[in-house]
Amino acid sequence: MLRFFSKFKYLAITLFILSAIIITLFYNALKPREILPIYQPSMVKTELVDSTIQYVKKYHTIADFKLINQNGDTITQEDYKDKIYIADFFFTTCPSICPIMTDNMADIQKEIMPYQDVMLLSHSVTPEIDSVPQLKKYAREKGVNDKKWNLVTGDKKQIYELARKSYLAVLDDGDGGPYDMIHTENFILVDKKRRIRGFYDGTNKEDMEKLLHDVKVLKSE
């Protein structure tokens, strides 16, 4: 009897391994594929969205832009063509949430370094203060990699309209000039078709883990 079982031991082990592989393949094939939502203006808090587009329910994408980065280079949508990217709004003299957000974005930069198709984009909400030299100084302090991460300044009206009509992520000051704005802690995940696929609290570590997970989900689409 022992000889009989010894004879078929390796066959049994082989069949067990094959069965495990087949079950795993079937499970992966039948498991629902994770898909991120595509955010439209109508899905976002109204205070973050310009009144002209609050009721838009489809086809929302990030508008064309032309801004200047920390190196004095012109940055447009073409620099982000066929890229997944994470955007936010900040200013270099912010004493509250900006340092936390920037540190978290720097951590994300480290994680996405192997990914050729993932980048970062940070917009100054005080472009009159955040000149190119000021952005360069800030970039050096925060460990910004120029190939991965652009800190941009430029025309205040354009940045305001991008914030409220494209990224849906900035509050209207409502107290000063026509383009005064209050940035939020939001990080915005944008896909290769320039659609918003997620919002994340840039001061929250758990949200940063979720963001990195969602980047991988987009890469697999």
Closest CA to 96 of 183, 179, 209: 183
Q: How many other C-beta atoms can be found within 10 angstroms of the C-beta atom of residue 172? A: 18
State how beta strands 118-124 and 149-152 pair.
Answer: parallel
Q: Does the annotation place 60 within a ligand binding site?
A: no
Task: Scan for tokens 């082990």, then name that residue.
Answer: 13
Residue 103 CA to chain centroid, in angstroms? 15
CA 147 from chain center: how many Å? 16
Burial, 162: exposed, middle or buried (Cβ in 10 Å; 0-12, 13-18, 19+)? buried
Residue 154 has, within 13 A of its CA and on its CB side, a CA count of: 23
**Residue numbering of the annotated binding site:** 94, 98, 183
**Residue numbering of the annotated binding site for Cu cation:** 94, 98, 183
